[in-house]
């Protein structure tokens, strides 16, 4: 038989050994994570540097950088499982040993006061589980409060609002790489078929509020506004995450035109969280063929100093509006950042009523 | 330094000569023959190459690029493309397009040289010209010619994107061309345009 005075010490030293191993695993993980974070930060920095060179075409590079970032971002599932399994076993064994030490040293008879002696065990087990949670956060960076704030998720890199408010990047130069463009298309052959208005983005930057107004020389034919926010699920076939996409089309709504002029004028105002003046795009849309209007040349892009806004509680509040564009004042109370796109397809005699507004429910597509 | 009109005259004179396609004529070009058996090189020793007005014009344009005279370069390219539209017909659309687009590619490649200061401007000019030319080809029904022309443009666009030049003009026109081709029931051409547009910035 074992020596009863020595045995508890053997168990204690076993516990000591287990805890040492556990802490060294902690150090090992932190080393890996540190390297990873450094990598991610380097890519992030490269990405930010890129957005200052607005006169170059960087869409391809930006796309590649975001994909690269995504690749480094997630630790593969297998090592994560191994580490978590190891931690579970170690913590479980340690707690079991502690409990068995209690039994070994317990001398009857039972009194209620001895429950108090169990408190340190409860506290330690709780802390062990806390430690486990921390390490779990470190190896799963995704959507955890610990590293999420330092290392943004890859999909945050396509968010204009994130880039403009947390990192000092010029929205104009980032959007230049997104290459916004507007297109009016008719799907059917009939004359009274409505025109589908599509906002095209070569690179899927999102998380901003837009206001589109499309007009002929005299009348406004189409108004649309809302927040653009994407949610790209993992690829259905390969299972790969897709933080950013190319050639994206956002259906804004349908317009009805009684006369079809050769040229249309369209303004797009872009409101983002980090700025106070919107960006103004001016497109000249030329009729090509019978069924579509497309921009004739590159749009004029300016920062519109005639409008000043701020965002409170996901609502855009116009502090100053001296813009000659119509309908901004009328709809300003509906400028909410809630991911919904509203449009007005038929405008009779320049009058508008809120209840004529329709919601564009069609989802975005790649084309 | 020649004046603009003089330059225009010279290049027009050159391009007024009849077109000669690389496979025509009797001059022995080893790159164009698949099998030397049955051909007696000595017999063809006396065959001289045909005149090649396009190569001459291209050379002239590249000379203006060396002299950094952008106006003349643009005019030269303009004349070259106009000559292309003049020469193309339904019989030679494939060969003619290949010939002209190769020479335009040469000019473009020279424009990418690091010590050429007007790379951006030249590329913009080329993109604008391409738009009109390919639209004309499509409307006139030169499907094969248009397809080859688009292929060459896409190759140039890809190289341009890698150098950091803007390709939005190309993207836009590939898209409008796709829509127009669909309208004209040229689905194959529309698919090709779409494919080029999607692959423009993948490298």
Structure confidence at residue A109 (pLDDT): 81
Report the candidate in B145, A251, A346 with the shortest Cα–Cα distance to residue B153.
Answer: B145
pLDDT at A348: 67
For residues B82-101, give the mean pLDDT: 89
In sequence order, what are the residues at sequence separation of 6 or more whose Cβ sits closer than 8 angstroms to the Cβ of residue A344?
A: A222, A223, A224, A253, A327, A352, A356, A357, A358
Question: Alpha-carbon distance A29 to A143, whole Å?
Answer: 19
Q: Report, as an integer, the average pLDDT of A148-169.
A: 81
Chain-centre distance of CA B23, in angstroms? 18
Angstrom distances, CA of residue B154 to CA of A163, A204, A322, B83: 32, 22, 44, 22
Q: What is the mean pLDDT of residues A198-212?
A: 91
**DSSP β-bridge partners for residue A16:** none
Q: What percent of chain A has pLDDT over 90?
A: 25
What band does A87 get if pLDDT is binned at 50, 70 and 90? Answer: very high
Query: Average model confidence (pLDDT) for chain B?
Result: 86
- Is the Cβ pair B161, A57 closer than 8 Å? yes
A59-73 and A7-50 helices, crossing angle to 10°: 180
A362 and A313 both lie in a single domain: yes
The shortest CB-CB distance from B168 to any of A55, A179, A289 is to A179
Q: Each residue of A75-94: b (16+ CB within 10 Å) or e?
A: beeeeeeebeeebeebbeeb
Q: What pLDDT does residue A330 have?
A: 84
Q: Which of A120, A151, A182 is the last residue of a domain?
A: A151
Residue A294 has pLDDT above 90, yes or no: no
Q: Is the dihedral of CA A126, A127, A131, A137 positive or negative?
A: positive
Q: Is the pLDDT of residue A287 over 90?
A: no
Q: Report CA-CA distances (Å) from B6 to A329, B13, B53.
A: 59, 11, 17
**pLDDT at residue A282 above 70?**
yes
Q: What is the pLDDT of residue B191?
A: 93
C-alpha distances in Å from residue B59, one per residue of B65, B73, B86: 10, 11, 20
Q: Is B161 an interface residue toward A (CB < 8 Å)?
A: yes
- Total domains, chain A: 2
Q: Are residues A181 and A144 in the same domain?
A: no
- Token reading at A59: 């869409």
Both A210 and A118 in one domain: the answer is: no
| Amino acid B34: pLDDT | 76
Cα–Cα distance, A56 to B165 (Å, whole number): 6
Contact call for B183 and A57, based on CB within 8 A: no
Q: DSSP labels for A110-169?
A: --GGGGGGGHHHHHHHHHHHHHHHHHHHHH--TT-TTTTTTS--GGGGGBHHHHHHHS--
Q: What was the pLDDT predicted at A349? A: 62
For A341, phi then psi, to 5°, come to: -110, 120
> What average pLDDT does range A252-276 have in this prediction?
88
**What average pLDDT does range A133-157 have in this prediction?**
81
Q: pLDDT category, A27, cuts 50, 70, 90?
A: very high
Residue A107: inside a domain: yes
Query: Rounded CA gap, B148 and B96, in Å?
Result: 10
Instruction: Say if B51 is an interface residue toward chain A (CB within 8 Å).
Output: no
pLDDT in tens, B114-141: 889 999 899 999 998 998 999 899 998 8
Element (H, E) at A208: strand A208-215
Are A143 and A208 part of one and the same domain?
no
pLDDT classification of A92: cutoffs 50, 70, 90: very high
Is the pLDDT at A350 greater than 60? The verdict is no
Burial of A363 (0-12, 13-18, 19+ CB in 10 A): exposed
Q: Stretch A3-17: mean pLDDT, rounded?
A: 88
pLDDT at A357: 81
Per-residue pLDDT, A36: 87
Check whether residue A84 and residue A200 sit in a common domain.
Answer: no
Query: Cβ separation of B203 and A60 shorter than 8 Å?
Result: yes
Between A330-344, A346-360, B164-178, the lowest mean confidence (pLDDT) is in A346-360
The arithmetic mean of pLDDT across residues A56-62, rounded, is 85
Both A142 and A205 in one domain: the answer is: no
Q: CA distances (Å), B4 to each of B9, B61, B170, in order? A: 9, 13, 29
A89 in a domain, yes or no?
yes
SS3 content of chain A, % helix, strand, coil (to 5): 40, 25, 35
A127 pLDDT higher than 70: yes
Distance CA A82, CA B127 (A): 55
Q: Which pLDDT value is given to residue B147?
A: 92
Contact assessment for residue A47 and residue A157, using Cβ atoms and an 8 Å cutoff: yes
Q: Is B179 an interface residue toward A (CB < 8 Å)?
A: yes
Asked if residue B99 lies in contact with residue B54, where contact means CB atoms within 8 angstroms, the answer is yes
B184-198: average pLDDT = 91
CA neighbor of A257 nearest in space, from A284, A292, A231, A232? A292
Tell me how crowded residue A15 is: count the other CB atoms within 10 A of its CB: 17
Q: What pLDDT score was predicted for residue A21? A: 93
Q: How far apart, in whole angstroms, are the C-alpha atoms of residue A280 and residue A266?
A: 10
Q: Say whether pLDDT at A86 is over 90.
A: yes
* pLDDT over 60 (residue B1): no
Pairwise CB contact (< 8 Å): B176 & A179 = no
Residues A143 and A189 in one domain: no
Confidence label for A176 from pLDDT (cuts 50, 70 and 90) = confident
Average pLDDT score, chain A: 86
Q: What is the DSSP string of B19-80?
A: P--TTSSS---TTT-S--TT--TTTTTTPPPPP-HHHHHHHHHHHHHHTT-HHHHHHHHHHH
Query: How far is residue B186's CA from residue B197's CA, in Å, rounded to a whole number?
Result: 17
How is residue A363 annotated by DSSP? Answer: P
Subunit contact B164:A58, Cβ cutoff 8 A: yes
**The pLDDT of residue A102:** 86
Test B180 with A289 for CB contact under 8 angstroms.
yes
Domain assignment present for residue A291? The answer is yes
Q: Which of A271, A284, A345 is nearest to A310 (CA)?
A: A271
Torsion of Cα atoms, B153 then B154 then B159 then B165, to 10°: 80
Strands A208-215 and A292-295, by their bridges, are unpaired
A154 and A66 Cβ atoms separated by less than 8 Å? yes
Do A183 and A104 belong to one domain? no
Share of chain B above pLDDT 70, in %: 95
Rounded to a whole number, what is the distance in Å from the CA of A251 to chain B's nearest CA?
16
Average pLDDT over residues B6-11: 89
Mutate which of B138, B176, B178, B185 to test chain A, going by most A C-beta atoms within 10 A? B176
Tell me which residue range forms the domain holding A33.
7-151
Does B87 score more than 80 pLDDT?
yes
pLDDT value of residue A351: 62
Interface residue A202 vs chain B (CB under 8 A): yes
Does residue A196 belong to the interface with chain B, where contact is any CB pair within 8 Å? no
Q: Report the pLDDT value the prediction gives residue A193, as an integer from 0 to 100.
A: 80
Mapped onto helix, strand or coil, the DSSP state of residue B119 is helix
Residue A1: inside a domain, yes or no?
A: no
Q: Is position A165 within any domain?
A: no
Which of the four pLDDT bands, split at 50, 70 and 90, describes residue A331?
confident
Element (H, E) at A365: strand A365-366
Please enumerate in sequence order all residues whose Cβ is within 8 A of that of A25, keeping only pairs 6 or more positions apart, or say none: A83, A86, A87, A90
Q: Check if the interface score ipTM surpasses 0.90.
A: no
What does residue A322 show for φ and ψ, rounded to 5 degrees? -110, 15
Give me the residue from A58, A181, A185 closest to B172, CB to CB.
A181
Residues A179, A288: contact at Cβ < 8 Å?
no
Residue A40 has pLDDT above 60, yes or no: yes
């Amino acid at each position: 038989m074992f020596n009863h005075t020595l045995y508890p010490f053997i168990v204690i030293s076993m516990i000591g050994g287990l805890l040492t191993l556990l802490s060294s695993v902690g150090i090992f993980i932190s080393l890996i994570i540190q390297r990873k974070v450094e990598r991610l930060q380097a890519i992030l920095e490269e990405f930010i540097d890129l957005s200052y060179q607005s006169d170059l075409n960087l869409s391809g590079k930006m796309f590649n950088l975001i994909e690269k970032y995504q690749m480094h971002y997630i630790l593969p599932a297998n090592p994560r499982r191994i580490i978590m399994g190891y931690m579970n076993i170690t913590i479980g064994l340690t707690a079991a040993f502690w409990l068995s030490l209690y039994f070994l040293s317990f001398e009857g008879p039972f009194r209620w006061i001895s429950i108090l002696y169990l408190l340190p065990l409860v506290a330690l087990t709780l802390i062990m589980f806390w430690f486990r949670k921390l390490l779990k956060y470190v190896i799963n960076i995704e959507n955890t409060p610990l590293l999420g704030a330092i290392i943004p998720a890859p999909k945050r890199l396509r968010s204009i609002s994130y880039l403009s408010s947390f990192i000092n990047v010029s929205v104009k130069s980032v959007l230049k790489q997104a290459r916004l463009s507007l297109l009016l298309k008719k799907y059917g052959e009939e004359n009274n078929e409505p025109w589908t208005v599509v906002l095209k983005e070569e690179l899927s930057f999102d998380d901003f509020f837009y206001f589109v107004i499309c007009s002929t020389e005299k009348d406004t034919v189409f108004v649309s506004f809302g927040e653009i926010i994407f949610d790209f699920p993992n690829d259905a076939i390969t299972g790969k995450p897709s933080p950013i996409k190319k050639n994206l089309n956002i259906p804004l709504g349908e317009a009805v035109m009684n006369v079809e002029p050769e040229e249309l004028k369209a303004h797009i105002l872009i409101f983002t969280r980090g700025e106070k003046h919107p960006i103004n795009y001016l497109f000249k849309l030329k009729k090509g063929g019978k069924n579509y209007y497309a921009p004739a040349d590159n749009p004029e892009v300016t920062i519109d100093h005639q409008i000043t806004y701020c965002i409170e509680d996901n609502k855009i509040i116009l502090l100053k509006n001296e813009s000659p564009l119509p309908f901004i004042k009328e709809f300003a109370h509906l400028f909410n950042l809630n991911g919904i796109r509203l449009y007005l397809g038929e405008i009779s005699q320049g009058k508008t009523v809120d209840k004529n507004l329709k919601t564009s429910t069609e989802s975005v597509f790649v084309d | 330094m020649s004046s603009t009109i003089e330059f225009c005259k010279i290049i027009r004179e050159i391009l007024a000569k009849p077109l000669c396609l690389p496979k025509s004529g009797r001059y022995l070009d080893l790159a164009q023959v698949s099998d030397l058996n049955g051909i007696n090189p000595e017999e063809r020793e006396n065959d001289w190459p045909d005149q090649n007005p396009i190569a001459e014009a291209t050379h002239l344009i590249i000379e203006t690029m060396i002299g950094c005279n952008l106006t003349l370069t643009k005019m030269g390219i303009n004349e070259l493309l106009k000559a292309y539209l003049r020469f193309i017909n339904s019989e030679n659309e494939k060969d003619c397009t290949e010939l002209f687009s190769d020479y335009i590619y040469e000019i473009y490649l020279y424009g990418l040289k690091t010590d050429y200061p007007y790379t951006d401007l030249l590329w913009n000019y080329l993109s604008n010209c391409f738009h009109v030319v390919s639209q004309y080809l499509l409307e006139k029904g030169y499907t094969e010619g248009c397809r080859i022309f688009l292929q060459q443009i896409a190759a140039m666009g890809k190289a341009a994107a890698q150098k950091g030049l803007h390709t939005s003009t190309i993207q836009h026109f590939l898209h409008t061309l796709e829509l127009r081709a669909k309208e004209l029931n040229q689905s194959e051409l529309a698919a090709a345009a779409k494919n080029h547009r999607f692959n423009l910035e993948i490298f």
